[in-house]
Structure 1
Amino acid sequence: MSKRNILKITLPKNNFPVSNELKNKELRKRLIELNDPLILVIGWAGGIDKYVSKYSDIWEEKNCITARYCVSAADGFSSKDTGTLAAANIVEELQERLGVEKRPVLIHSFSNGGGSIYRRLVQNDNYKELKIIGSIIDSAPGKRRLLGGINAVNSTLIAMNAPLLYRYAKVAVFILRSVLKAIWQTFWGKVDHVYKGLIHIPVRWPEGYIYSEKDDVIYADDVREFIDNRKRKAGGSFDIETLQLKDSDHVQHLRKYPILYKEFCFNFFDKAFTIYNQNAKL
């Protein structure tokens, strides 16, 4: 197991009224025995738990256990090795703290930062350790675009209350790195990116996508193109569902449309869980 816990785990109060945290062996034993559905929430780059935890709150209405992983600003734009290690640590901690061998898991990830970790989970055979029944991707994926990247870095730093000069410096570094990567890709080969990585992964379960026309970090046209590709790849074997919004900002769809957002997530979960139960009986 990793040296420190990297996941924040929340238990539904209806099922666990005594404690909302994993504090003792008896509670952990009960959790493993119950095999209640688990929602793995993977936040956006730089998203702090204060905000990511709001998604645990909505899933509590479905009496689901949630495990949250907050993607640091560095991890969100990390190397392949960093993302792979984070994915492996997530699976290992889920196994030790919750017991996930028989527990249905739905992944709810955000932006390209969360998408980068989700990608490593499903790309490097980590998913075989989890009984994934579906995935919901909020505000992603998007292609590598300079303006969108600048907006993403700036938004993350604003949320962190970073000083203005520090933000300017970070944006300048991001621009320089982007230019160097473009040059490298032009003359020496491929540059690893979440959009291209996810688009080639086989469709193994139902997928849901939530995006907005107003998003200035992840462009709606990129998400639509990605969804069309996934539908062709699925070939009708799994549902690819979408919630297209008009005027909500990047990773702010729940805040702008709470009822519509929850309705989409809950309906998606119900369908995915039904398919899982039907397959389990075969």
Structure 2
Amino acid sequence: MILGQFPSKCVVTKPALVADKYSDLIVVLIGWAGCKDAYLSKYSAIYERRGLTSLRYTVAITSRAMRHAHVPARFTTPMMPALRELLRPPSRKILFHFFSMNSMFALSSLLAAYGPNLMDRAQAAVFDSTPAEYSSTFGTVLDFTLPQHFPSAGPLTLAAIKYFVLRLNDLNEYKNSILSALDGKPERREIYYWAGRSARLPKQQLYIYSRKDGVCPHESITAFRDDQISRRGATVSTLFFENSEHVQHYRTYPDLYTSTLYKFIDQIISQ
């Protein structure tokens, strides 16, 4: 499915045998910038082995849409029919599994498409390599996404486009910093603060991240996690690595990653 020139894909997978205690919990996985469904399917398979139904969604949020905390609904409209069908039984709850900052922008779009009452159905969330202050990650995100958006462009052209987009982003960040200082509400404009203060994230949370992450700094993720605890009373679990790369924690430590997810799922069900 195409949004302008930007692809998206929505896939629902159901296990061969749905465990009774997991029948009211569905997993919604939202991929990182540059993620392909084949990559995300490795994560949904973790949940399928546990007897859980999952919806996985990949989409390339444009750099223009990333200038603001409020992302248009069109980026997640393709997943609406499948999501609404899964949530038709009123007892169904969502476990979100987010990857990198692309998923935070996609969440903003998702709430615009479905409506803010979607978060009433959210029971828990896994944050893999996210959230981090976006100004520090934008350049690396462009390295992932520009070659997809401009497949025929050579290295020099891509470098020129990146420079131009970064300068526009600098101007936008400057404007946002002034407006935030004036009204004291950065969540109106900056996705990092929007996610923490306005998205009504579920209070059962698992953070998986690394000191070596070169895209989303671990200090920023830690600050977000701690703010969720102090500001919202979130119940938080953490899996912190020293040497795994951005969104490569499962690939580097598959057994520990999987066992931590299963422990978190059991905590969700028990509560």
Q: Considering the TM-score relative to the shorter chain, is it more than 0.5?
A: yes
Q: Is the 8 A contact 2:28 2:94 kept in 1?
A: yes
Distance 1:12 1:85, change over 3 A: same
What is the distance in 1 between the residues matched to 2:225 and 2:144? Answer: 25
Give the one of 261, 266, 269 matched to 2:265.
269
1:102 Cα shift?
2.2
Distance 1:13 1:258, change over 3 A: same
Distance 1:11 1:166, change over 3 A: farther
Distance 1:215 1:86, change over 3 A: same
Give the one of 99, 122, 125 matched to 1:135.
125
What is the distance in 2 between the residues matched to 1:136 and 1:80? Answer: 20
Counterpart residue type for residue 116 of structure 1? F
The match for 2:174 is: 183
The match for 1:49 is: 37
Superposed CA offset, 1:156-179 (max 9, x none)? 456889542353234223312221
Counterpart residue type for residue 174 of structure 2? I
What is the distance in 2 between the residues matched to 1:225 and 1:119? Answer: 20
Aligned to 2:51, what secondary structure does the other structure show? coil
Give the one of 100, 103, 109 matched to 1:111.
100
The match for 2:206 is: 208
Superposed CA offset, 1:27-84 (max 9, x none)? xxxxxxx945311001112211121111111111111111011021427736555444
Counterpart residue type for residue 11 of structure 2? K
Aligned positions of 1:89-104 closer than 5 A = 90-96=79-85, 99-104=88-93
If each structure's strand is expressed as a fraction of its own residues, which one has the higher value?
2
Aligned positions of 1:1-282 closer than 5 A = 6-15=9-18, 35-74=23-62, 77=66, 79-80=68-69, 82-86=71-75, 90-96=79-85, 99-119=88-108, 121=110, 125-128=116-119, 131-146=121-136, 148-157=137-146, 162=151, 163-188=154-179, 192-201=189-198, 202=200, 204-235=202-233, 238-275=234-271
Task: Give the unaligned 5+ runs of structure 1.
Answer: 17-33, 276-282
Of stretches 221-230 and 202-211 in structure 1, the one that deviates more from structure 2 is: 202-211
What is the distance in 1 between the residues matched to 2:142 and 2:51? Answer: 35
Q: Is the 8 A contact 1:42 1:114 kept in 2?
A: yes
What is the distance in 2 between the residues matched to 1:254 and 1:160? Answer: 27
Superposed CA offset, 1:190-213 (max 9, x none)? 572221111214564301111110
Counterpart residue type for residue 257 of structure 1? Y
What is the distance in 2 between the residues matched to 1:65 and 1:54? Answer: 14
1:93 Cα shift?
3.2
Of stretches 241-250 and 81-90 in structure 1, the one that deviates more from structure 2 is: 81-90
Aligned to 1:183, what secondary structure does the other structure show? helix
The match for 1:25 is: none
Counterpart residue type for residue 151 of structure 1? T
Aligned to 1:41, what secondary structure does the other structure show? strand
Task: Give the unaligned 5+ runs of structure 2.
Answer: 181-185
What is the distance in 1 between the residues matched to 2:90 and 2:239? Answer: 31
- Tell me how many residue pairs correspond in the alignment: 251
Aligned to 1:38, what secondary structure does the other structure show? strand
TM-score by length of 1: 0.76
Q: Is the 8 A contact 1:106 1:134 kept in 2?
A: yes
What is the distance in 1 between the residues matched to 2:252 and 2:268? Answer: 25
Counterpart residue type for residue 168 of structure 1? A
TM-score by length of 2: 0.79
Q: Is the 8 A contact 2:14 2:54 kept in 1?
A: yes
Q: Is the 8 A contact 2:215 2:246 kept in 1?
A: yes
Q: Is the 8 A contact 1:95 1:101 kept in 2?
A: no
